[in-house]
């Protein structure tokens, strides 16, 4: 999904897309392995590691929400539907350390 609005800041769009793809991949793996007792801890660790890769891209809070968090939300809801997608997205934002500036798109 391409974010609407401003151009991708500093980092090129491809780097941002790859970061979004890694986030989605991590959440898909988590969704498919939830029965494993270590699944949540692994997901939290993996997403937090991905989060450390955002800083070098030069994105600020608003850019992170627009270019990373919202595309992850969109992909999870499209893939899993509103209920499961929203649940996964909540867990993603918890692990990613995101405080959303506006309500989640999947909530309504």
pTM of the complete model: 0.82
Average pLDDT over residues 55-76: 91
What digits encode the pLDDT tens for the residues 40-62? 999 999 999 999 998 888 888 88
Average pLDDT over residues 67-83: 95
Cβ(100)–Cβ(72) below 8 Å:
no
As a whole number of angstroms, the distance between CA 84 and CA 46 comes to 20
Q: What does the pLDDT read at residue 58?
A: 85
Q: Is the pLDDT of residue 5 over 90?
A: no
Cβ(49)–Cβ(88) below 8 Å:
no
Listing DSSP states for 16-66 in one string gives: HHHHHHHHHHHHHHHHHTTTSTTHHHHHHHHHHHHHHTTGGGT--HHHHII
Q: What does the pLDDT read at residue 32?
A: 96
Q: What does the pLDDT read at residue 57?
A: 87
Q: What does the pLDDT read at residue 106?
A: 46
Q: Is the pLDDT of residue 91 over 60?
A: yes
Q: What does the pLDDT read at residue 59?
A: 85
Q: Distance from CA of residue 72 to its chain's centroid?
A: 4
Give Cβ neighbours of residue 48 (< 8 Å, ≥ 6 apart).
Answer: 95, 96, 97
């Amino acid at each position: 999904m391409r974010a609407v609005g401003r151009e991708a800041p500093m980092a090129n769009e491809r780097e941002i897309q790859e970061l979004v793809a890694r986030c989605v991949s991590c959440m898909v793996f988590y969704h498919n392995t939830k029965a494993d007792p270590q699944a949540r801890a692994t997901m939290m660790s993996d997403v937090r590691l991905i989060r450390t890769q955002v800083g070098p891209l030069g994105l600020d809070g608003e850019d992170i929400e627009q270019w990373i968090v919202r595309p992850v939300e969109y992909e999870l809801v499209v893939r899993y539907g509103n209920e499961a997608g929203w649940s996964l997205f909540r867990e993603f934002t918890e692990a990613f350390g995101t405080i959303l500036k506006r309500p989640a798109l999947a909530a309504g």
